[in-house]
Amino acid sequence: MATMRMADEEAGAWSYKGEGAANIVLEYIGANPALVGKVLRLRKTLRDHKIKNTISEKAPVLINIEQSIWADWPDVASATTTEILQHAYVKDVMLPLLGKEYVDTGVPVAISQNFLAAVAQNIQEKRPIWRQENADVDLLSPLALLISDHTKFSILPGVREKVQSTIAVEIKPKCGFLPTTTTMDPANVVKKDVSRFAMHQHLKYMEGKLKSISSYSPLDLFSGTSEGIYHAIESLFRTPQNNLRVFIDGTKLFSGVGEGAKAEVECMRDDEGVLQIIEDSLEGFIPLPLGERFKTLQALITELLYRSDMLNRLLAVQKLDNYDIEGAIHIYYDILETKCNVCLSSSQLSGKRVDDVASMTFVKGEQLTVNSSLHNDMKNQQTEAVAQLHSLSVEEKKKIIRDFLIAATAKDCSIILALQPVSSFTDERSIICCPVTKQQYFYKMFFLDLDLKRLKKLPFYHELDQKIVSYYAHSQASRTISS
């Protein structure tokens, strides 16, 4: 693939925009017309994993078994750098599933170590401390992805400068359905009633990673009803964490604590100062008096999400996870041709008494005891379902793992919506009407962060899953006992 090269002298023209666990994103603030309106997505490297040099590697990034899982997508299977791998995965796997109108694959660009070193130094103080402690820009990365900045609209031909402000809302929805598969241990039956997001909140809170438990529910967002979506949006604004970010003209206005936004919120119910900043910032965007703009913004976002098929598409891809990690993990060991650790440890445990606490489920504080005969029925079903998984053909197993990994991407990606009031000119952009003010807005909607998840993560996923569920079940049990 012919690749554009980023000039080292451009390093100073890239400014920090944001980051996740795996990538840092920079926005272009220079004057090169080919780069105006673009962001650059750079790979990070864990602080203790700096030795890996990918520059001279010509071998595929994926290990043999991964190459065979993705064999029908040759550009994915054969990619020799992480950036080419991720680009091919978005283009060939995720785009056809999610829709080309919602996926921007970006373009890989070559970057030098000097460029990366200069950029890394320039952005250091803008990065959240906790992110700095975990990972740095990967100075050995030969490529980065150049993508349109979806917090802004490109300036239209013939229009000399921006006339209206743009608001962009980024949502990380997480998993929007409850698993129903019989491959789950009956001790974890609570997973059929409480979302993984909600349970994970309790674990993160106990570990000190959160200041409060989120009131957001992915099940509301994916409910398919405008009431559910509105409720989810309201909750996201109340407890944004890393699930909501709002940008005005490309600058982060609102987010969870520690992300460097003007208005940072963890629990804003009583925070008049934060509300004031938001209301003020919406002047010129929502033509209503102070005090009425914020709610209207939430209604506008709801309308946009409700009318589009983006959430439904995403949910369908998330649901490719048919067997839950509790099923997929068995297949993981099979395709690696090693003994199934899970079956091995459950056979070692068999004969022990069923843990009374673990065989209860708690829904909104209400205790539902799974009686022992029901528990035994469920256990038998699980044993049968797991045996069936182990007996599938290699091709069937590869498909299950592939679908599981695709679903994992869909459970961790973000949606970004950008809106700009329609001014006098017209063009081919899509338009939505605000349900409250009837003001018209241009809009665009994209998925962000559609990275491939690696096969080696499965044991970690399983371990985390068990930790999340058992902590939740036990914490609910002790709450019930003490009340």
Ligand X SMILES: O=P(O)(O)O[C@@H]1[C@@H](OP(=O)(O)O)[C@H](OP(=O)(O)O)[C@H](O)[C@H](OP(=O)(O)O)[C@H]1OP(=O)(O)O
CA distance 325 to 385: 13
Map residue 9 onto helix, strand or coil.
helix
Q: Are 186 and 378 in contact (CB under 8 A)?
A: yes
The nearest distance, CB 104 to ligand ATP, in angstroms, is 6
User: What is the pattern of x (binds ligand ATP, CB under 6 A) and - over residues 357-396?
Assistant: ----------------------------------------
What is the sign of the dihedral through the CA atoms of 126, 127, 130 and 132?
negative
Cα separation values, 438 from 66, 300, 403, Å: 51, 10, 42
Angstrom distance (rounded) from CA 141 to CA 144: 8
Task: Name the amino acid, one letter, at 96.
Answer: P
Binding partner of 330, given Zn ion, ligand X, ligand ATP, none, CB within 5-8 angstroms per partner class: Zn ion
Stretch that binds ligand X, among 19-27, 115-123, 163-171, 179-187 (CB under 6 A): 19-27
| Cβ neighbours around 383 below 10 Å, total | 15
Residues 6 or more apart in contact with residue 422 via CB below 8 angstroms: 164, 431, 439, 440, 441, 442
Which 3 state secondary structure label does DSSP give 358?
coil
Q: Which does 343 bind (CB under 5 to 8 A by kind): ligand ATP, ligand X, Zn ion, none?
A: Zn ion
Contact track, ligand X, 187-216, x by CB under 6 A: -------------x----------------
If one asks whether residue 444 binds ligand ATP (CB under 6 A), the answer comes out as: no
Nearest CA to 42 among 127, 157, 129?
127
- Determine if 467 is a binding residue for ligand X (CB under 6 A): no
Q: Which residue number, 79 or 340, has a Cβ lying nearer to Zn ion?
A: 340
CB of 409 to ligand ATP, least distance (A): 10
- Nearest CA-CA partner of 200 in 217, 183, 182, 180: 217
Of 151, 181, 217, 298, the one binding ligand ATP by CB under 6 A: 151
Token pair recorded at residue 33: 């017309």
Q: Are 93 and 76 in contact (CB under 8 A)?
A: yes
Of 22 and 213, CB closest to ligand ATP: 22
- 138 lines the binding site for ligand ATP (CB under 6 A): no
Q: Which stretch binds ligand ATP (CB under 6 A): 22-30, 352-360, 399-407, 462-470?
A: 22-30
CB 214 within 8 A of CB 235: yes
Q: Does 170 contact ligand ATP by CB under 6 A?
A: yes
Q: Does 109 bind ligand X (CB under 6 A)?
A: no
* Residue whose C-beta lies closest to Zn ion: 340
Distance between CA atoms of residues 420 and 335, nearest Å: 49
Residue 408 interacting partner from ligand X, Zn ion, ligand ATP, none (CB closer than 5 to 8 Å by kind): ligand X
Nearer to Zn ion, 44 or 330 (CB): 330
Q: Helix axis angle, 324-335 relative to 372-390, nearest 10°? A: 30
Quick one: which of 8, 15, 20, 223 contacts ligand X (CB under 6 A)? 20
Nearest residue to the partner ligand ATP, using Cβ: 20
d(CA 69, CA 406): 12
Task: For residue 445, give the H/E element and its range.
Answer: strand 440-448
Stretch of residues binding ligand ATP (CB under 6 A), selected from 127-135, 142-150, 176-184, 349-357: 142-150
99: closest CA among 304, 316, 322?
316
Is 46 a binding residue for ligand X by CB under 6 A? The answer is no
Q: What x-and-dash track marks residues 225-244 binding ligand X by CB under 6 A?
A: -----------------x--
Q: Out of ligand ATP, ligand X, Zn ion, none, which partner does residue 462 contact, by CB within 5 to 8 A per kind?
A: none
Token couple for 71: 């064999």
Contact 170, 250 (CB under 8 A): no
340 binds, among Zn ion, ligand ATP, ligand X, none (CB under 5 to 8 A by kind): Zn ion
Q: Which segment (16-24, 261-269, 401-409, 467-475) binds ligand ATP by CB under 6 A?
A: 16-24
Q: How far apart are the first and last CA of the chain?
A: 64
Residue 21, interface with ligand X (CB under 6 A)?
yes
Query: Considering the complex, what minimum distance in angstroms separates the CB of residue 345 from Zn ion?
Result: 10
Pick from 174, 202, 231, 245 the residue near ligand ATP by CB under 6 A. Answer: 245
Interacting stretch for ligand ATP, rule CB under 6 A, among 74-82, 149-157, 277-285, 422-430?
149-157
Q: Is 45 a residue that touches ligand X (CB under 6 A)? A: no
If one asks whether residue 170 binds ligand X (CB under 6 A), the answer comes out as no
153: closest CA among 424, 415, 430? 430
With CB under 6 A as the contact rule, the residue among 169, 385, 448, 468 that binds ligand ATP is 448
Residues facing residue 236 across a β-bridge: none
CA distance linking residue 242 with residue 373, whole number of Å? 42
- The encoded tokens of residue 168 equal 């962009």
Chain residues in the site for ligand X (CB under 6 A) = 20-22, 200, 242, 408, 412, 453, 457
Chain residues in the site for ligand ATP (CB under 6 A) = 17-23, 25, 39, 41, 147, 149-151, 170, 245, 412, 414, 448-449, 451
